[in-house]
Amino acid sequence: MTTDTSKPRIIKFYETTLRDGEQTPGVNYFPEEKLAIARALADMGFDTLDCGFPVSSPGEFEAVRLIASKIENAEVCAIGRANKGDIDAAWEAVKIAAKPAIQPFVSVSPLHRKVKLGKTREEVLEMARVAVAHARTYTENVDFALEDTTRTEHDFILEVCAAILKEGVRFVTLCDTVGYALPWEFGKLVADVKKEFPGIHISAHCHDDLGFAVANALEGLRNGAERVDTCINGLGERAGNAATEEVVMALRTRSADLGMDVRVDTAKIIPTSHLVSKLSGMQVQWTKAIVGQNAFAHGGGIHQDGVLKDARTYEIMTPESIGLTSADRRMYVGKLSGRAALDAQMRELGYQLEKEQLNHAFDMAKLLLGKKRVLEEMDLRYIAQTAMSPAIVE
């Protein structure tokens, strides 16, 4: 698909940290915690917050209802299975919201139809149609998700889309529920559905079982999807969902090339990531893109020298763009580090080493790193003071 890069297309977000993110094994938010995360997400500028599955428990219902009563600057959505009881509960939970929405869903793949539902194609098709029709009696803001879309017969996907479009569905969510699709496959799926139904609005929901969630999401957007489902820190079932921060910064960093952009306050990415990490109990991998502790850390001597001269040599975004400062850029002194990094570390600690002193310090550091993985502050101070000592023979 060709894109008009002169005027970037603004991508909508269905932010699902509060629902799909809470399905991460071991994560269980209390209502006040869900509200704190909802406020952070809404303040970042996300369009729709997928807040939960109200019929699943009284606590979940109350948590969604609490968010609905407090959040005014984002759409508040609840999900439910394609049956009257779930849809009624979803609407009851969000109806007090300033901007309420509901999203029923149904499994559509042959495996899910047989094993999960025990239903025929015709029965599942009718479930989807009736669910949208019933939800539409409450609100026009009705989306519908096709669970396990990427393992479903192509003609059946089109049948379901045709049926729910006739009932007035707003967004159709195509789901790579088990992270099965390859990027070009997911892109083609979206393109084919858009070709069949030019007026359809598609949301891309991608999981990361093969590590393709963000790539699949971007291919979906590139091929005509208007919205993407994401989770902060890549939380979610099994290997997680497409990471919100990765999709946001990919769109922002490569906006001119993709012809797409976001209306999200990227400077709030780090505070929100830290909040979610704290309340979920799920620590972020150090090498995680965008929000990992090492995202702006440098350990190789060649890299360190380049960054110290001009950060653009090895950084494609600034720390400030995601809510950090230049002071959060770290140079680790390890066995692969060079003199430039050691000198920078010494200066941060207040030591101004002359050339020969730095050479001595560098030799000492390399010897010590034969016994330690990383030099700590007390090691560096000892090395600096020893290197600057008059006892050092020139």
Question: DSSP per residue over 306-355, as a string?
Answer: HHHH-GGGT-SS-GGGGT--GGG-EE---TT--HHHHHHHHHHTT----H
Tell me the pLDDT band of 341, cut-offs 50, 70 and 90: confident
What's residue 195's pLDDT? 98
Q: With a cut of 90, say whether residue 255 has pLDDT above it.
A: yes
Q: Give pLDDT tens digits for 161-205.
A: 999 999 999 999 999 999 999 999 999 999 999 999 999 999 999
Pairing of strands 9-10, 144-147: unpaired
In terms of phi and psi (left: phi > 0; alpha: psi -120 to 50; beta: otherwise), the region of 254 is alpha
CA distance 119 to 169: 22
What's residue 5's pLDDT? 47
* Of the candidate ranges 103-117, 182-196, 268-282, 379-393, the one whose mean pLDDT is the lowest: 379-393
Average pLDDT over the chain, rounded to whole?
94
* Residues 6 or more apart in contact with residue 165 via CB below 8 angstroms: 172, 197, 199, 200
Q: With a cut of 60, say whether residue 302 has pLDDT above it.
A: yes
Mean pLDDT throughout 83-101?
98
What's residue 337's pLDDT? 84
Q: What pTM value is reported for the model?
A: 0.92
* Residues 6 or more apart in contact with residue 367 via CB below 8 angstroms: none
Tell me the pLDDT band of 390, cut-offs 50, 70 and 90: low
Q: With a cut of 70, say whether residue 394 has pLDDT above it.
A: no
Domains of the chain: 9-280 (3.20.20.70), 299-387 (no CATH)
CB neighbourhood size of 362 (10 A): 20
Q: With a cut of 80, say whether residue 147 has pLDDT above it.
A: yes
Closest CA to 175 of 132, 198, 209: 209
Q: Which SS3 state, helix, strand or coil, does residue 287 take?
A: coil
Q: Which SS3 state, helix, strand or coil, does residue 267 take?
A: helix
Share of the chain above pLDDT 70, in %: 97
Tell me the pLDDT band of 393, cut-offs 50, 70 and 90: very low
Mean pLDDT throughout 8-19?
98
What tokens does 19 get?
Answer: 């629902």
Q: With a cut of 90, say whether residue 300 has pLDDT above it.
A: no
What's residue 304's pLDDT? 87
Asked if residue 279 lies in contact with residue 21, where contact means CB atoms within 8 angstroms, the answer is no
Q: How far apart are the first and last CA of the chain?
A: 66
Q: Give pLDDT tens digits for 27-65.
A: 999 999 999 999 999 999 999 999 999 999 999 999 999
Q: With a cut of 90, say whether residue 372 has pLDDT above it.
A: no
Mean pLDDT throughout 112-123?
98
What's residue 2's pLDDT? 47
In terms of phi and psi (left: phi > 0; alpha: psi -120 to 50; beta: otherwise), the region of 290 is left
Asked if residue 171 lies in contact with residue 143, where contact means CB atoms within 8 angstroms, the answer is yes
Mean pLDDT throughout 213-240?
98
Asked if residue 13 lies in contact with residue 244, where contact means CB atoms within 8 angstroms, the answer is yes
